[in-house]
């Protein structure tokens, strides 16, 4: 006579336990994927008054407008304003460690305009910018260098020493380059404030529109981990 027992056969119980465990694992795995997809890519703009939003409402500053433009295209990002008005390349270097937190994935380096306006030796500017890019690269942070052009009144010799700094650093450290941060804005009275140097809100929008494809490349590098 076949023995009888109360309850469910052991094989059935084991199958149910395994199914429940698998379901829980898949749930946690999928939750992790969702959370990863929702985690913003953190981009820091390390710059001067051109990116900080000099004399503009807070919502018109370059980092704010850039974040808005990226989010409109579906990117989950946070763009932090780490600009300081009047800052030089050396000033940016001096505050680099606390201006760019450990969770930053990418940095837009927008420095050098004040060095140029003050007529600093381009070699001094280059050394500071190179140290910034080198240290960010060592930290495995993706870098986009925003270039600057020399004012015509400074002469051709100064321009020849200053303007190549940006493409040379981008090439040396495999960083992305946007050749001229004020492209489409410099020299246009309608897009500049009365000082003729700082962009208006409309000028900031032109800058954002110009640099946006390079920032998308920057995000792609972050996603690839390179």
Please check whether residues 210 and 160 belong to one and the same domain.
yes
- Give a yes or no: residue 3 inside a domain: no
12 and 89 share a domain?
A: no
Three-class secondary structure assignment of the chain: CCCCCCCCCHHHHHHHHHHHHHHHHHHHHHHHHHHHHHCCEEEEEEECHHHHCCCCCHHHCHHHHHHHHHHHCCCCEEEEECCCCCCCHHHHHHCHHHHCCCCCCEEEEECCHHHHHCCCCHHHHHHHHHHHHHHHHHCCCEEEEECCCCCHHHCHHHHHHHCCHHHHHHHHHCCEEECCCCCCCCCCHHHECCCCCCECHHHHHHHHHHHHHHHHHHHHHHHHCC
Q: What CATH number does the domain containing 61 carry?
A: 3.40.50.1110
Show the domain range for 33: 8-39
Active centre residues (catalytic): 49, 195, 198
What confidence tens digit (pLDDT) does each residue in 38-67 have?
799 999 999 999 999 999 999 999 999 999
- Which residues make beta-bridge pairs with 78? 42
Residue 160 pLDDT: 98
* Same-domain pairing of 31 and 127: no
Residues 113 and 33 in one domain: no
The pLDDT value recorded for residue 26 is 53
Identify whether residues 46 and 22 lie together within a single domain: no
pLDDT more than 70, % of the chain: 83
What whole-number distance in Å separates Cα of residue 197 and Cα of residue 28?
Answer: 53
What is the pTM (predicted TM-score) of this model? 0.84
Contact 39, 75 (CB under 8 A): no
Q: Are residues 31 and 83 in the same domain?
A: no
- Number of structural domains (the chain) is 2
Distance CA 120, CA 105 (A): 31
Average pLDDT over residues 27-39: 52
Question: Residue 24: which pLDDT band, with cuts at 50, 70 and 90?
Answer: low
108 and 198 belong to one structural domain: yes
- Is 21 a residue whose pLDDT tops 70? no
* Per-residue pLDDT, 22: 52
The answer to whether residues 112 and 22 belong to one domain is: no
Q: Among 136, 80, 85, which Cα is nearest to 113's? A: 85
Please check whether residues 54 and 105 belong to one and the same domain: yes
Structure tokens belonging to residue 193: 């404030």
pLDDT, tens digit (0-9, with 9 covering 90-100), for 179-214: 999 999 999 999 999 999 999 999 999 999 999 999
Alpha-carbon distance of 104 to 38, in angstroms, equals 16
| 104 and 206, same domain (yes or no) | yes
Asked whether residue 2 is assigned to any structural domain, the reply reads no
Q: Are residues 146 and 47 part of one domain?
A: yes
Judge whether 1 lies within some domain.
no
Is 64 within a domain?
yes
User: Is 107 found in the same domain as 92?
Assistant: yes
Model confidence at 70, pLDDT cuts 50, 70, 90, reads very high
If pLDDT is split at 50, 70 and 90, which confidence band does 8 have? very low
The pLDDT tens digits of the residues spanning 104-143 come to 999 999 999 999 999 999 999 999 999 999 999 999 999 9
In a domain? residue 142: yes
Whether 55 maps to a domain, the answer reads yes
């Amino acid at each position: 006579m076949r023995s009888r027992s109360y309850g469910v056969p052991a094989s059935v119980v084991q199958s149910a336990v395994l199914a429940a465990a698998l379901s829980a694992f898949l749930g946690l795995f999928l939750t992790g994927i969702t959370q990863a997809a929702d985690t913003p890519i953190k981009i820091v703009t390390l710059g001067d008054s051109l990116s900080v939003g000099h004399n503009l409402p807070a919502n018109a500053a370059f980092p704010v407008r850039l974040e808005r433009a990226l989010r409109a295209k579906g990117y989950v990002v946070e763009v932090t304003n780490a600009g300081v008005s009047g800052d030089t390349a050396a000033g940016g270097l001096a505050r680099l460690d606390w201006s760019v937190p450990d969770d930053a994935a990418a940095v837009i380096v927008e420095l050098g305009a004040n060095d140029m306006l003050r007529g600093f030796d381009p070699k001094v500017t280059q050394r500071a910018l190179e140290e910034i890019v080198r240290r960010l690269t060592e930290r495995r942070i993706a870098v986009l260098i925003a270039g600057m052009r020399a004012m015509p009144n400074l002469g051709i010799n100064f321009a020849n020493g200053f303007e190549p700094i940006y493409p040379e650093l981008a090439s040396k450290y495999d960083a992305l380059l946007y050749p001229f941060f004020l492209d489409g804005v410099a020299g246009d009275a309608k897009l500049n404030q009365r000082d003729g140097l700082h962009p208006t809100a409309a000028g900031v929008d032109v800058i954002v529109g110009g640099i946006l494809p390079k920032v998308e490349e920057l995000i792609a590098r972050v996603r690839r981990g390179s």
